[in-house]
Amino acid sequence: MKKVEEELVGVKEIARRANVSIATVDRVLHNRTGVSEKTKEKINSIIQELDYQPNLLARRLASRKAIQFAILIPQISNETDFWQAPLNGIEQAEAEIIQYGIKLDKYFFDLNNKSSFVKQTQVLLKGNLDGVLLAPSFIEESIAFTKELQKRNIPYIFIDSDIPNQESLSFIGPDLFQTGYLAGHLINYLFESGKILLVNISKEIDNHHHLLRKEEGFRTYFQKNNINKEIVKIDIRKTDYKSIKKNLAKILTKEKDVKAIFVTNSRVSYVAHFIEESSIQDKLLIGFDFLNENIEYLKKGTIDFLICQKPQEQGYRGIMALYNKIVQQAPIEKAYFMPIDIVTKENYAFYRN
Q: Is 88 part of a structural domain of the chain?
A: yes
Residues 135 and 226 in one domain: no
Residues 168 and 185 in one domain: no
Identify the three-state secondary structure at position 197. Answer: strand
User: pLDDT tens-digit profile of 230-252?
Assistant: 999 999 999 999 999 999 999 99
Given its phi and psi angles, is residue 306 left (phi above 0), alpha (psi -120 to 50 degrees) or beta? Answer: beta
Q: What are phi and psi of 302, to 5 degrees?
A: -70, -45
Q: Is 142 part of a structural domain of the chain?
A: yes
Q: Give CA torsion, residues 320, 321, 323, 327, to 10 deg.
A: 150
Residues 304 and 326 in one domain: no
Residues 143 and 166 in one domain: yes
Residue 25's CATH number: 1.10.260.40
Residues 100 and 46 in one domain: no
Q: Is 255 part of a structural domain of the chain?
A: yes
Residues 180 and 300 in one domain: yes
Residues 101 and 166 in one domain: yes
CA distances from 145 to 112, 123, 167, 234 (A): 18, 12, 12, 31
Q: Is 130 part of a structural domain of the chain?
A: yes
Residue pair 196/188 in contact by the 8 Å Cβ criterion: no
Residue 91's CATH number: 3.40.50.2300
pLDDT tens by residue, the chain, 353 residues: 444 434 444 778 888 889 998 778 878 876 677 889 899 889 888 888 877 766 555 555 555 567 899 999 999 887 778 899 999 999 999 999 888 889 999 999 998 888 999 999 999 999 899 999 999 988 899 999 999 999 999 999 999 989 888 899 999 999 999 999 999 999 999 988 889 999 999 887 666 677 889 999 999 999 999 999 999 999 999 999 999 999 999 999 999 899 999 999 999 999 999 999 999 988 999 999 999 999 999 999 999 999 999 999 999 999 999 999 988 788 899 999 999 999 999 999 999 88
pLDDT of residue 1: 40
Q: Is 220 part of a structural domain of the chain?
A: yes
Given 27, 47, 63, which residue is the final one in a domain? 63
Given 63, 85, 106, which residue is the final one in a domain? 63
Domain count, the chain: 3
pLDDT of residue 77: 82
Residues 97 and 122 in one domain: yes
Residues 245 and 320 in one domain: no
pLDDT of residue 59: 55
Residues 190 and 256 in one domain: yes
Q: Domain range holding 98?
A: 67-173+311-338
pLDDT of residue 110: 92
Q: Which of 154, 210, 172 is nearest to 318 (CA)?
A: 172
Cα 188 to Cα 257: distance, rounded to the nearest angstrom = 15
Strands across the sheet with 170-173, in order?
A: 102-109, 67-74, 131-134, 156-159, 170-173, 335-337
Q: Is 351 part of a structural domain of the chain?
A: no
pLDDT of residue 7: 43
Residues 278 and 213 in one domain: yes
Cα 302 to Cα 313: distance, rounded to the nearest angstrom = 27
Radius of gyration of the chain, Cα coordinates, nearest whole angstrom: 26
pLDDT of residue 55: 59
CA distances from 24 to 16, 27, 54, 235 (A): 11, 5, 15, 65
For residue 46, give the amino acid letter. Answer: I
Residues 100 and 195 in one domain: no
Element (DSSP H or E) covering residue 49: helix 37-50
Q: What are phi and psi of 141, to 5 degrees?
A: -65, -35
Q: Is 266 part of a structural domain of the chain?
A: yes
Q: What are phi and psi of 174, to 5 degrees?
A: -80, 155
